[in-house]
Structures are given as structure tokens and as C-alpha cells.
Chains A and B, each alone.
Chain A
Amino acid sequence: MDRIILIGLNHKSAPIEIRECLAFDEPDTRAGLGMLRDDPAIDEAMIFSTCNRVEVLLSAHRPDAAIAAAKRFLSTTKQVPLAVFESSLYLHRGEAAVRHLFRVAASLDSMVLGEPQILGQVKGAYRLATEQKSAGVILNRLLHRTFFVAKRIRSETGIGDHAVSISYAAIELGRKIFGRLEGKQVLLIGAGEMAELAVDHLVRHRTGRVYVANRTFERGVALAAKYQGTPIRFEEIGAHLGKVDIIITSTGAPGYVIRQADVKGIMRHRRNRPLFFIDIAVPRDIDPLVNQVNNAYVYDIDDLQEVVDDNIEDRRREAVKADRIVDEAVVQFRRWYDSQGVVPTIKALNAKLREVAAAELQKTLGHLPHLSAEDQQAISRMSEAMVKKILHDPTRFLKGNGCHGDRAVYLEVARRLFKLDEQMEQRANQDPDRPTEPSEP
């Protein structure tokens, strides 16, 4: 399996300064794939570039030449001297490359463990490779397995469960209180990146009207426009506590903006509907005693950070399970890969033809009982000889150098023409790695 090579760098091996120099956007990738495909040492190629990593996946019949070519390729296309980034590069061959790819797609290698975007990004990179015709038999199979493994990990482990960002953790808590956030009214007090991000998330969950209160009314007006919300004056906050459901505070005020008495007084008026305070400000804007009021819930920045830390811990635990699935998948891929070799293919081809001949022979002889034993033997010898003759040329072709670098392609064609994969799979005693691939582009 040494012909599968993965070379690249990521957030762990290289600082942002290097990663940004080597990043490939879509046109870059298309052009790059063309160059790699045309390199005589390389059979198949895929380029995978995100803000956290740049990786080149290759299948090559001359691995060492291919590695050198890939390094040269990175250096020349990006016009960065190899010496600058060579020490940041990692190189995986064979099983290690397969494992690395599986782990990347399953988000086990990501900066935020379990983040969901990466699978889509791998799919995008593969789509480009198929469009540029730089992916062949091996990469096709490898990538389909990758998608399968990543999906399996997502559904069978909790790697993607629960929020790992402050603003998203707040949303999750909100759903534990309100069930559905649809139609819930939001009040944003103050401004700030994290608070606004939380409001963004809420709006995406189709919450109702957004009110924005700011010390400087003009600022509030501008912010409210962003969410098609309603700006209110700071003095009006008390009056609005009766109708809103979620309150996000992020002001620079030195003291509490909302006190226990404010909330206690309003609860009867709002018929005890729950009130959820998300206090992102330091110093805090919400009196912690508000949390003691029935049906009012207060989470400050530390509480949310704790939720996030716990969730990250959970994901780490799940990652162990995920790695087990990856190991299993690597073994299965190896089994498939080995079955793609010359010898297994020729063996399977042999077996298939012999089986056909033997079956037909038996059928024919069954109808000709009058033949003598010698006649029967003669016919049987003839059929064997035919099988041998027929197999002679294809065997030589597959074994010899007739197929140049594209042996994998010819092996694949041979297996497809004679439907050998089914046969080999039955023989491999119900190989669990059946081609139940999802139909990716």
C-alpha cells in the first residue's frame, strides 16, 4: 500500500504565516491538480486546503519520485522556498496516510475536535479532483471509504455532540429551557462580538423579535438594523422584561444592570413564563441572585465556559471510540487494497474461467452418456486447454510492463469485465468491507 502518499502541514505542524502562504483556493487547486496529474511519477492526486491545513494526497507507482515532485510542486506553485516549510511538513505513506485521511475527515485532527464542516471540505476537494480527472481507482475508493467512515463516526460516537463555543452553548441551554426557540423574543443589552454572535445563532433558530438596548441610542439603532430588530432606550429595559424571553447582556457597566427585585416584580406580570439571562459581560450585568427567582435562569460567562469545557472533555472521550472505528476501517481498506494486486486478480480470473468451463463440461457430458471414458477425458482436456490459452495473453499483459504506470486501471477493468470483485468477496468469507459506498459525486 506504499503507493498511497499524504504530504502536508496543519495547524499543529506549521504556524499561520506558513499555512497562509501555501493555501490553495479553488482556481489554484484546479490548476495544481492538472500539474500533479501530468507529472510522470504521479498517478492520482487530490489537494485539500482549508485555513488549518494544506495536504496533497497522491497515488504513485514511484513513491519517492512522487514525494519529491509534490514538494517541488508546493514550492514552485506557491513561490515559497522549500527550506521555509519543509520542516513543517509531515509525510504519511501507506496505512499511515489512509489513517490520517480518515481522521481528518472525521474531524479527529481538527483544531476544534468534532467540528462538522471538515467533511464537506474534504468532499469539495474530492469533487475538484474528479472534475480535473486526477482521481483514479485508488483515490475513488479511498475517498468513498473516507466519507463512509466519517459519517459512521458522526452517527455512532458523540464526537459532534454538544456545543464547544460559548455562544452556541448558550443556545443549547436555551433549548433545554424553552424546548423550541422559535418565536421567543430576544433582548440584547450592550454590544460585543460574543453577544452579537449569540444573537446571530438565535436568529438562525428563528426566534421572534429582537430588541436592542444601548447606552448610546444611535449605536443601538445601527445594531438593531442588523437583525431587523427594534432599538429601545436603556431606561425602557425594565418595561421590556415583561415580554422578552431571552436576554443577552454585554455592557461595560460597572454595576448590575438588572437586579433581583426587577425580575421578581415582573414574573407575575409575565405569568411566570421562563426568562433566560445570558450574561457575557465582565463585570457582570445581571445580579446572580436573579437565578434564585422561580422560572428565571442566569448563566454568566464562567458558567458557559464550564459547559464548553465539559463538552470538550466529552468529545475527547468520544474521540477514543472514533479512533477505534478508524483503525477498523484502515484494516478493511488494506484488505481491499491487497485484493487489487496483480496476483489476486489473476487468480480470481483463473478461478472464474475454470469454474465456467467445469460447469459447462459437466452439463454437456451429462447429455452424452454414450461417450466412452476416453472421449470424455479428451473433451475435458480440450476445455482446460482452451481456458489456458484464453488466459495466456491477459495474464502476461497484467503481469508484465504492458500497462505502464496504469496497472491499477487495467486491474480494475479486468475485475469489472469479469465481475471478479463479487467472486473475490464471497471467497474472502463475507468481507465486511462490502462496497456499500454512499453515492458521492
Chain B
Amino acid sequence: MQTAFVAALLIYMLSAAAYCAYLFLQRNPLQQAGNLLLVTGFTAHTLAIGWAFAATGHFPAGNLHETLSVTAWSIAGAYLLLGLKFHLKILGAYVAPLTVFILLAAFQFPRTPTQPENLLQGVWLTTHIVTIFLGYAAFILAAGTGVLYLLQERNIKAKTRGFFFKRLPSLDMLDTTGYACIVFGFTMLTIGLITGMVYAKAVWGRFWAWDPKEAWSAVVWIFYAVLLHERLAVGWRGRRTAIMAIAGVGVLLFAFLGVNFLLKGHHGQFTQW
């Protein structure tokens, strides 16, 4: 199992290297290699997680090591999934290193699950975890495209055709992809919250407990709901959406990690090490 994790990490590293080389040299074979490596790394990672799942009987998101690993896995997965429809090659230069970075961070924490609680079982819970992670990963991708959008917009407005001007795709492409990421992330988050509530009802007897984690997840949900609403209703797009997508990640990170470190709640073990 550990071998598969390490293999995944190494392959992700190669993919990141290929993507970075692509960023500088602009040779298509490099991008193809990067993508292929990312798919391979993701497959190895999926096997490793599946293996852990089978061995312990619960989805491996029980401590900080596992949580971060699943985060990396979700980001790679969300990127590959979105890549089927949007050919935003250059985003790989952001996703692959990010995946490596998060997985490396994961390895800094003890790997053995402290105590497998009975809580982490059942199809509702697995769905809850996977969808929430994928949703958050998609939001992180949206922030990535947001950064690229701002860079490219700056290039065009300031009439400086620097390093990124040639390498980045069109504003429209970045905007559309960011929007798609947010729609996907929002859908996943919604499903995740609903399954979480169903699970809470089954375990604790109530849908909503005003636990800090729940409250902050709701804040994230509302944040992105507003963003989507504004886009559909008044046509928020471009710069403003990009900035909001980046700001959204701040809220998201607080809900995801900050709450666990600063506040208390029933998602505590999720970040323990």
C-alpha cells in the first residue's frame, strides 16, 4: 500500500516536471507526457486509496495524512475529469506541482490511523467524503484559472506581452473553464452537504447541529451560490469572477482546515496527527 503511495508521488513529480518544462519550452509532446504521467499517477493513487479502503473498511480520511492525500487525489481527479471537456493544458503546470506539494505535505504526518472509529462507515459517508473533496478540489482549480485569468488580463490591458502572454490561452477560455470548475464544485458540494446531513440524521438523529464545521461549510456553499447567481443574473464574469474564485479558496481553506485547528467540532479526528 505504502509502495503504491510512493509510486504515485514519484509519478506525480515526473508529471509536474514535464508540465513545467512544457510551460517554458512549449513543446506539445511534453504536455502529452505530463498528462499521461498524471493519469498514471492518479491511477496508482486511486489503487493505493482503494487498497487502504479495503484493508480498513472505511474511506481513508481519518487523519491529517490521509486527508491531505485524498485532497491531492481529488485535485488530480477533478483536473483530469474537467480536462475531458476543457483542453486547458497550461493548468496542468499548476495542478501537477500542487498535487505533488500536497502529497509531500501528507507524508510529513504519521501514516497509521489512530483509531478507526465506527463512525466512518457506510455508503452515505463515503459519498459525503468523496463529493466534498472533489467539490473543494474543483474550487481550488477555479482559483487556479482565476489566477491565470488575472495574469492574462493584465498582459492584455497593460499591453505587455511577457512570458505568460504567449503561453496562456484566451481570456474567454480561462473564464469558461473557471466557471465550469465552480459549477462542478458547487454541484459536488451540494451533494456532499446533503449526504452529510442524511448521515448526521442517521447517526445523531438530526440533520443540522450548528457544529462549526457545518456552519462554515454552509458559508462556503452560500459564497459560491452567490457567485453563480450573480453570473447568471447580471453576467458577472472576467476579472470579478476570477477575484471571487480566488477569495473563495480562502473561505474554503478555513472551513476545511482552519475550523479544525481553531474551533472544535465533530470533524476533529479528520485532521489529527
Residues of A within 8 A of B (CB): 162, 173, 175-180, 268, 270-274, 291, 294-295, 297, 299, 303, 306-307, 310
Contacts and interface: CB of A to CB of B under 8 A. Distances in A.
A303 B158 CA distance: 10
B172 interface: yes
A33 to B, nearest CB: 42
B57 to A, nearest CB: 48
B237 A177 contact: no
B172 A179 contact: yes
Contact of B159 (A162, A179, A294, A299): A299
B161 A307 contact: yes
16 contacts: A176-B152, A176-B156, A176-B170, A177-B172, A178-B172, A179-B171, A179-B172, A179-B173, A180-B172, A268-B234, A270-B235, A274-B172, A294-B239, A295-B238, A297-B156, A299-B159
Contacts, number: 52
Contacts of B234: 268, 271-272
Given A178-B170, A297-B156, A306-B159, 15 more contacts: A173-B156, A175-B170, A176-B152, A176-B170, A177-B171, A178-B172, A179-B170, A179-B171, A179-B173, A180-B172, A271-B237, A272-B236, A272-B238, A295-B239, A299-B159
A176 B171 contact: yes
Nearest to B158: A291
A274 B161 contact: no
9 closest A-B pairs by CB? A271-B235, A179-B170, A179-B172, A272-B235, A179-B173, A295-B238, A272-B237, A178-B172, A303-B159
Contacts of B173: 179
Contacts of B171: 176-179, 274
A162 B161 CA distance: 12
Contacts of A162: 166
A294 B238 contact: yes
- Interface residues of B: mostly helix, strand, loop or mixed? helix
A265 to B, nearest CB: 15
A124 to B, nearest CB: 31
Contacts of A176: 152, 156, 165, 170-171
A173 B171 CA distance: 11
A265 B106 CA distance: 50
Contacts of A294: 238-240
Interface in B161-187: 161, 165-166, 169-173, 176
B85 interface: no
A163 to B, nearest CB: 12
Contacts of A270: 235
B227 to A, nearest CB: 14
Nearest to A302: B159
Contacts of B166: 162
A178 B166 CA distance: 15
Contacts of A306: 159
Contacts of B238: 272, 274, 294-295
Nearest to B27: A156
Contact of B237 (A178, A295, A310): A295
Contacts of A271: 234-235, 237
A273 B236 CA distance: 9
Contacts of B172: 177-180, 274
A321 to B, nearest CB: 13
Contacts of B156: 173, 176-177, 297
Interface in B227-255: 234-240
B242 to A, nearest CB: 11
A296 B43 CA distance: 43
With most chain B CB atoms within 10 A of its CB, the pick from A175, A176, A294 is A176
A287 to B, nearest CB: 15
Contacts of A295: 237-239
A310 B176 CA distance: 29
A274 B236 CA distance: 11
Contacts of A310: 161
A160 B236 CA distance: 38
A144 to B, nearest CB: 26
Contacts of A177: 156, 170-172
A270 B235 CA distance: 8
With most chain B CB atoms within 10 A of its CB, the pick from A180, A294, A306 is A294
A178 B156 CA distance: 12
B157 A291 contact: yes
